[in-house]
Structure 1
Amino acid sequence: MHIRALEENDLIHIHELNNKLNVMAYWFEEPYESLSELKSLYQKHIYDETERRFVIIKDGQFAGIIELVEIDYIHRNCEIQVIVKEEFQGEGLAQEAMEKGINYAFQILNLHKVFLYVDTENEGAVHIY
């Protein structure tokens, strides 16, 4: 498993995840986003220094996404988010991706704090965090 920067051609996979109610509920966001809207947001945020988005790759396949958002360089903190596609869940990818995302935040961005919000009913996520 490795992570790499999100590219525009990955948006079709993000679109699939963003349109699943059970997935977006864990991110406390509304599902059902159009691909056109997603592409527009990608273009709008491509140079945004307060975000870093990575895709999780397993055996050459898109397996999920890990994001550092709300990056605050003054207070040196950010929020982290992760989604692993259902067919890749249970393989430890979320935990490994979290470690890589946190290491990136601390070692590359030189932040001091990484936080997240989690639905306490999402037992798998609570276990990882």
Structure 2
Amino acid sequence: MKLRPLEETDLEFIHELANDYSLMSYWFEEPYNSLGKLTEHYRNNNSGESARRFVVMNEQDKVGIVDLDYIDFIHRHCEIMLIIKPEFSGNGFAKFAFKEATKYAFEVLNMHKVYLYVDVENEKAVGIYKKQGFKNEGVLREHFYAKGKYKDAAFMSILKQEWLKNE
């Protein structure tokens, strides 16, 4: 298992994930993205400082992606988002990718806080986040629309000093 930076050659893989309704609903995003638009976005925004995107690898297989988004270098916080292809679920990839990306946020980017939004009904993900030391800061009522209804989202985070205690 390893993480590596997203490359332009990974865009077909990202396109596949980004157009899977069942996966994108976890990110509360619409699964509508053309490969051309994705390529254009990559070329125009890849050098920006507001995001870091990684591909989760197992040997030669691409198994998922983990993003650090909305990186704020003034307030020193960012959002973390993760998708693992369903056929690779249950093999520790989510735990590994989540831990490595959080480590990158704190050790390389010097973030003070890493946060996320998660569907309160996604008990598996909430469990992974809690095991990594993330704390629930509250619930945003009917904050996202996914799978035909409004969903409550837990806002969870971990501070650098909390993460250091768990390391």
- Does residue 130 of structure 2 align to residue 119 of structure 1? no
- Does residue 79 of structure 2 align to residue 48 of structure 1? no
The one-character-per-residue Cα deviations of 1:64-107 (angstroms, maximum 9, x if unpaired) are: 00000000000000000000011110111111101000000000
Letter in 2 for 1:26: Y
TM-score, L = length of structure 2: 0.76
Q: Distance in 2 between matches of 1:74 and 1:23?
A: 32
CA RMSD in angstroms, aligned pairs only: 0.7
Q: Matches of residues 46-125 of structure 1 in structure 2 within 5 Å?
A: 46-125=46-125
Q: Distance in 2 between matches of 1:91 and 1:34?
A: 30
Q: Distance in 2 between matches of 1:20 and 1:111?
A: 31
Q: Which runs of 5+ in 1 are unaligned?
A: none
Residue number in structure 2 paired with 1:20: 20
Residue number in structure 1 paired with 2:32: 32
Once the two structures are TM-superposed, the CA of residue 32 in structure 1 deviates from its matched residue by 2.1
Once the two structures are TM-superposed, the CA of residue 127 in structure 1 deviates from its matched residue by 1.3
Equivalences, count: 129
Higher strand share: 2
**Percent identity at matched positions?**
52
Q: Distance in 2 between matches of 1:31 and 1:99?
A: 26
Q: Which runs of 5+ in 2 are unaligned?
A: 130-167
The one-character-per-residue Cα deviations of 1:29-61 (angstroms, maximum 9, x if unpaired) are: 100211001101101111110100000001211
Q: Which has the larger radius of gyration?
A: 2
Q: Distance in 1 between matches of 2:33 and 2:3?
A: 24
